[in-house]
Structure 1
Amino acid sequence: MGDDGRATGGTFPTSADWHRAPDILAIVEERHRAAVEEVFDAVRGGSRAWTDWCGAIERLNQPGSAGIVVADARGVGEAELAVVLPLLDAFARGGGQRVIIVLDFEQIDSISAALAAPGIELLCAPTMAEYVAAVIVAGGGAGGVRDSGREAEAERLRQLHEQVARIAETLARLAGDVADPTLRESGREPGRESAREAGHVGEHGMRYRGPAPSAVAAPDITARDIRDAIRARRLRDQHFAGGLFEDPAWDMLLDLFAAELERSQVSVSSLCIAAAVAPTTALRWIAKLTDAGLFERQPDPFDRRRAYMALSARASAAMRAYVGAVQRIGTAIA
């Protein structure tokens, strides 16, 4: 093994060589190693170790494998993935360790179906800035980065987390209003306790509060109403600069709500398309909204390589409350 922690004389070092865990374990096929080395070179500090997907089986079965794992799955066959992905999932669960998996769009469904542990970051055909930022956020960079996009990407990750926290708290409050409108009269804010207990923190400044839900039944909510709203949102992109109206959380909530009303299923890749943003950004939002308790993963009982996404009961109740309130005041779904 070289001084930098890389294996020498082969892709996988023997167990005796691993006298201490590296900061980063890279699972990379030879054809992608140069690109991954460029990413790691942009991250100053930290020891590295390298293996291919075959060697990963032995490496991940050892205790104290690494601080974080970066697994580049692009072009890797399903048979190899089927063996290693559960080990990566267990690795992330074992000690709250971070795992970054780089994949192609065509692999989204099969790879996401095998992974359920928190702390796993999926990067779909990432740019250099996205790749570097993910390694830094995961804890792989000790001394800074030479990539100009790092600060912007890290700031975007921070803002994403804060936005999801606010969305979760707002939807929890909406669902609480529907469940028990008398809570407002008692001085308690519905949903605030559940959101906090789930570990979400939002801003508690000035907020708009609509009227309490009417006792009159809301008009029927149809999937067509929701699909029309989605089409209207996409029409904006034809008349304004791209990216101006990005709102992936709401776009995905609308898509899953429409699917619920249609009694249809939505794959992870399909939900990424509905988000109308880059796949890596969509995957990040899916993970955050799942952690927030708004989305649920539903494995396909007929195909273990596929998982579907759906609204949680809390999110579904909140969406129905929102659409019902919009219909009562006679305005369009935003």
Structure 2
Amino acid sequence: MQADFSYEPVYDGAGCQLGVTILADRDAVRAQMRDDAVAAGFRVLECCRLDEFASGSIAALGDLVLVDCLVADAETMALLARLDMRAGKSGAQMVISTGMDALDAVFGCFSMSGAQILVEPGRAERIIAVGRVLADVPNLRLRELAEEDRLMLLRLTEQVGKMAERIERLSPGQREGGGAFRLEAASQAWRGQDAAGGAGNGANLPEAAAIRAVIRRRQMRAKFFDADLFADPAWDILLDLAAARAGRERVSVTSLCIAAGVPATTALRWITQMVESGLLLRIPDPADRRRAHIALADSTADAMARYFREAGIGSSQQIAAVA
């Protein structure tokens, strides 16, 4: 998809054109991101390498921050953590591009800003991410947009809306004092159960081997049919985390994206929505606070345990066929 779209400049409530900060070490990607941001109506405030931005004088962030980061060294992760904190306080929107090798480290840097994280994206995916940012800008005037781009953004909006509705239905129940999209921290009881040598999985889940067998049966269908026919990332995520909890294992974001059976960027959108809904928890790695793991919330684990009981899945010898 070519960047043949063009918006009127976008302004904030004070009438100032919205600015963008672009950070990328790859020259071609940085130039491409700049062209697309300008075409979308943003004013470029910074456009440089990550190390150049880190070593320069502190400047105000743009309303949008675009980052391309494939290296997970200490200096880069420290910069990303600072950007997350600044964006979280200022309300800036962040779009981060990374690769599978650096995904766990990059994901662990973002807990305050609600960043969109894209995994090995093409140009079209980056443009869509910018489009999602623009969708939140009030009174945006569209001057020209190619039909292909318009349809792609429409499909994305529909996809995200359906995802939120589906997760809302999946949520084990409304939290007291808020809706299903209220974020809760892990309970002290869960932390104790998760520790090595803890007392069971705390939700009467089946043996991990029994849940893994269900997962293998689901994956077996891809030998006979197109795997896209059965794509169900939310359920695959829940199954993988249930097996991990039953076996008292920690799950990284990278491994969970693989388990979801969909492209990593799509899997990350599901994981983010499920964390925001309270179905899943983001757990800091005790050995490295810059990293994070994903786990079932206690209420979700209880719901999964009830499902397995009704499905007749209680041990590795009691596995029922699951649709």
Interval containing the TM-score (normalised by the shorter chain): 0.7 to 0.9
CA–CA separation in structure 1 for the residues paired with 2:206 and 2:72: 44
Given the superposition, is the C-alpha separation of residues 31 and 128 from structure 1 closer, same or farther in structure 2, using an over 3 Å criterion? closer
1:225-262 Cα deviation digits (max 9, x unpaired):
21111111112222222422111111001000000001
In proportion to residue count, which structure has more strand? 2
1:34 shift after superposition = 2.9
Q: Does 1:51 align with 2:45?
A: no
- Tell me whether 1:139 sits opposite 2:128 in the alignment: no
The one-character-per-residue Cα deviations of 1:176-223 (angstroms, maximum 9, x if unpaired) are: xxxxxxxxxxxxxxx3565962448xxxxxxxxxxxxxxxxx997222
2:67 maps to 71
Does residue 333 of structure 1 match 2:322? yes
The structure 2 residue matched to 1:265, chosen from 250, 273, 292, is: 250
**Rounded Cα–Cα distance in structure 1 between residues aligned with 2:113 and 2:77:** 19
Q: Alignment identity in percent?
A: 31
1:88 to 79, 83, 86: 83
The letter for the 2-side match of 1:33 is: R
Structure 1 moving runs of 4+ over 6 Å: none
Distance 1:220 1:102, change over 3 A: closer
TM-score normalised by length of structure 2? 0.75
Structure number with greater Rg is: 1
Instruction: Tell whether 2:110 aligns with 1:128.
Output: no
Measured against aligned partners, the alpha-carbon deviations of 1:83-140 in whole angstroms (never above 9, x if no partner) come to 3111221133113321000001101011111111252000011122211100110128
2:32 is aligned to 35
Instruction: Identify the residue that residue 109 of structure 1 maps to in structure 2.
Output: 104
Letter in 1 for 2:321: A
After the TM superposition, which residues 1-334 of structure 1 pair with which residues of structure 2 at under 5 Å, given as runs?
A: 22-29=18-25, 30-40=27-37, 43-49=39-45, 50-57=47-54, 61-63=58-60, 65-74=61-70, 76=71, 78-139=73-134, 143=142, 145-146=145-146, 148-149=148-149, 151-172=151-172, 191-192=173-174, 197-199=179-181, 221-327=206-312, 331-334=320-323
Show the counterpart of 2:187. Answer: none
Q: Could you give the per-residue CA deviations for residues 290-312 of structure 1, whole angstroms, max 9, x where no partner exists?
A: 11111111122123343211101
SS at match of 2:21: strand
CA RMSD in angstroms comes to 3.1
Name the stretch that deviates more: 44-53 or 228-237: 44-53
> The residue matched to 1:126 in structure 2 has which SS?
coil
Deviation, 1:224, is 2.1
Aligned residues: 277
The one-letter code matched in structure 2 to 1:320 is A
* Residue pair 1:219, 1:324 contacting (<8 A) in 2 also: no
Q: What is the CA-CA distance between 1:154 and the residue it aligns to? A: 4.6
The 8 Å contact of residues 36 and 127 in structure 2, kept in 1 or not, is answered as: yes
